[in-house]
Amino acid sequence: MRQFIFWVAGLLFVTGCQGVSYSSAAYNQKLSGWLGKSVNELYADWGTPSQILPLGDNTAEVSYYSSETQPVDNVFEPYSSEISYDAMTQQNFGLPTPPPLYYCKTSFTISNGIVTDYTFNGDDCY
């Protein structure tokens, strides 16, 4: 019985991980088009970065943040079937409930003026 429970738990974990990578595939594909382009092209299209973090010799991480109280395309829970925050649910202790905040942080690694890598995090990356 114990082995069965571990097997089912492992299966659920693997299934959940597959869903996370699938939902971000479109944004991942969009960002992959920036690999090999110049930092000037990036700035022309994306605008002024929210943050620039020097990483070493001629290398920096350029980050863009966005946050909204309404999600892009009115998709309120784009990852609802993949991520659960039930353990973090708290009462509001009689205070007004603040509006939800949807965000996205997209970062590009720039080496010698060329985009060489990217990452993103958030629940509103499109």
Report in angstroms the alpha-carbon separations of 117 from 43, 110, 125. Answer: 15, 7, 17
C-beta separation of 99 from 69 below 8 A: yes
Q: What's the domain count of the chain?
A: 1
59-92 pLDDT, tens digit per residue, is 999 999 988 776 555 555 555 555 555 544 555 5
Q: Judge whether 18 lies within some domain.
A: no
Q: Judge whether 4 lies within some domain.
A: no
Q: Judge whether 3 lies within some domain.
A: no
C-beta separation of 107 from 62 below 8 A: yes
d(Cα 56, Cα 121) in Å, to the nearest integer?
A: 23
96-105 pLDDT, tens digit per residue, is 676 677 889 9
Q: 3-class DSSP state for residue 61?
A: strand
Q: Judge whether 17 lies within some domain.
A: no
Nearest of 20, 31, 18 to residue 119 by alpha carbon? 31
11-55 pLDDT, tens digit per residue, is 444 444 444 443 578 888 999 999 999 999 999 999 999 999 999
Kindly report the CATH number assigned to the domain that includes residue 33: 3.30.1450
